[in-house]
Structures are given as structure tokens and as C-alpha cells.
Structure 1
Amino acid sequence: MDAVRELTREAFAPMRFSDGTEAEALDMLRRDGDLTLSLVAVEAGEIVGHVAFSPAMVGSEREGWFGIGPVSVRPRRQRSGIGSSLIRQGLEKIETAGARGCVLTGSALYYGRFGFVADGAVTYRDTPARNVMWLAFRGGPPEGEVRFSAGLEA
């Protein structure tokens, strides 16, 4: 998936919060067999967006939780709804497949529109509580430290 790898590099290059490892994280998820769901958006034969879902743990919950990311959209197509559409489709597929919910680190302003909650009950390393979010499909709200797949933990 060289096209997705290049898209991911291009999408994150201008982001001030990026450490430049997003494409490598995606490679590691693939290599480890942890890329549970990978969706792409294609326009005129070109991949313009991608979202990845991989297993995650929340506290003592080892099954049913998934991490989202990276979410990549070509810079010239950002803010056009491609990322939102991919996230919504992915959430629907993961929920239909029986997932308990999803967790992520990111902007509450952006991910709040999908129903994600940043309430401090879920933590991740030293990430500020406002940037650690969860969305439960079934069961009660999660609580505890998040552990993502190794590809996202590196």
C-alpha cells in the first residue's frame, strides 16, 4: 500500500502536532496484523483519504475496543468532508462487527462531532485529558489507561 503510505506522509507533513512517524505506524500495524479496518476514499482514480482502525485496550478491558488513526487526507482536499466520511463509515462498520467502542487521542473539537467524549475517565500516557476520547457502542463508559496496538505505541 505505497499509495496510502505516501498519502499519510503528505497529509501529516504540515501538521505541527505530527512527529512524522504516522506512515511508519501504519506499516507496523500492517506488519503486526493489527490493521483491523482500513478504508480509503478515491476520487478520479486517486486515493485522497484513509482511516485505520486497530485493537486497543482500556483499563482491564482487553476485547472489543479499537483505536482510530491515523486519519489522512491529501492537504488540498482537507476540510472537504473526506476524513469525516471515512470516520463515520469506519465507526459504523466496527460497531456492526460487534465492537464495544473506540478510543483515540486528538482534538475534542473535531472528534466531538462523532460523539467522542473527553471526560478524564480514560487516560493515555501524559496526554492532556481533553485530548483522550472514547465512544462506547455497548456496555458502560470505559475507565482506565488506554493501550493502543504496538504500531501506535512506538
Structure 2
Amino acid sequence: MNLKLTIRSETVADVTAITDVTVAAFKSLKISNQTEHFIIEALRAANALSISLVAEVDGRVIGHIAFSPLTISDGTRGWYALGPVSVLPEFQRQGVGKALINEGLSRLRELHAGGCCLVGHPDYYRKFGFRNVPELVCEGVPPEVFFALSFDGHIPHGVVTFHEAFTANG
């Protein structure tokens, strides 16, 4: 990555830029319903953005990542959802998403989180240690795109439920 990238926590002044980045990042993705910015807004309104980071270059927000609490039917606590993660199209494939993910996971570990789950592209998230685990399922999500990463080696058993904000559609 040749960008002079700064990763930092979001501020109130970043909200509009985060929306713009998220809309642009998902606009051409066929697998998207273009609701990701609504999800972030709903997580923020519910005070459920446990970690919300922006990536900026020369003071311009070019990327964003959100982490929010999730529930697991076996009662395990301290697990989080990763997503959405967004990078402006002209800055994709330059390490911005990777930097956001690595910093976010590091911050989750600092919170003594047990682990993290996500729905995403199989070829991308495995390089961060995420894997498909039969012990965890997310109803309505194909197992090949549902991933978990345990920080302490313990994999809970049960159904994962993302925050209700993930149903936001405007």
C-alpha cells in the first residue's frame, strides 16, 4: 500500500462521509441490496456501533468499518459482528479494507472479545483467520459465506443473530 493512510475512530463530523463511502462501495455489487448505509445508521441510532473506524487519506474519508454486538443462542457473550466494511471504489485493492479489518480486530481483542462473525466473500476473509465453523450457524445465510474467528480458541455452539439493525432498509 502506497497510500498515507490514517485509521481512526469515527467522529460525528464523519457521518455524512461514511454514508457516501458506503453507498459508493456497494453501488455496483450485485449481491448487495444497497442497504448497508441504512444498517450503519441504524446501528449508530441504537448505540450499537461497538467499534466504528474510518480510513482517511489527506483528511478525506475513503473507507469505513463497523463492529457491533451479536447474540449466540448458547448464551456466549463477547462476540461481535464485522460489517459492513466499505472502501471507495477508486481506493479498493490497495490495502485499505485490510488495514481497517486488522485495526478493528486488534481493537476487539483489546476489549477482550471472544470472537467475531461475518457474512462475506470466502476467498477474502480466510486470510484474516476467519473460517466456516459447523458449530455456528446464521439462519438464512449459506454456510459457505458465514465466517467466525475465535480470539481465545473457544468456538461457541448455536445460532448467531446479528443486531436487528441489519434488517434496516431505509
User: Normalization by structure 1: what TM-score?
Assistant: 0.95
Q: Does 1:113 align with 2:123?
A: no
Matches within 5 A, 1:43-82: 43-82=57-96
Q: Which amino acid aligns with 2:101?
A: I
Instruction: State the secondary structure of the residue aligned to 1:47.
Output: strand
Partner of 1:25: 39
Instruction: State the secondary structure of the residue aligned to 2:77.
Output: strand
Count of matched residue positions in the alignment of Structure 1 and Structure 2: 154
Indicate if the aligned counterparts of 1:100 and 1:138 stay in contact, CA closer than 8 A: yes
1:105-152 CA distance string (max 9 Å, x none) = 111211100000113321112211111110011251122111011111
Indicate if the aligned counterparts of 2:76 and 2:156 stay in contact, CA closer than 8 A: no
Indicate if the aligned counterparts of 1:71 and 1:83 stay in contact, CA closer than 8 A: yes
Give the direction of change, closer, same or farther, for the CA distance of 1:139–1:153 in structure 2 (3 Å limit): farther
Q: Does 1:14 align with 2:28?
A: yes
Partner of 2:142: 128
Moved more, 58-67 or 112-121: 58-67
Counterpart CA distance in 1 for 2:86 and 2:156 is 27
User: Normalization by structure 2: what TM-score?
Assistant: 0.87
Q: Which amino acid aligns with 1:113?
A: K
Indicate if the aligned counterparts of 1:120 and 1:130 stay in contact, CA closer than 8 A: no
Q: Which amino acid aligns with 1:91?
A: L
Counterpart CA distance in 2 for 1:145 and 1:131 is 15
Counterpart CA distance in 2 for 1:72 and 1:24 is 13
Counterpart CA distance in 2 for 1:60 and 1:5 is 34
Instruction: State the secondary structure of the residue aligned to 1:15.
Output: coil
Partner of 2:151: 137
1:14-45 CA distance string (max 9 Å, x none) = 11110110000000000001000011110122
Indicate if the aligned counterparts of 1:56 and 1:148 stay in contact, CA closer than 8 A: yes
Q: Does 1:4 align with 2:18?
A: yes
What is the RMSD computed on CA atoms of the aligned residues? 1.2
Kindly, what percent of the aligned residue pairs are identical?
Answer: 36
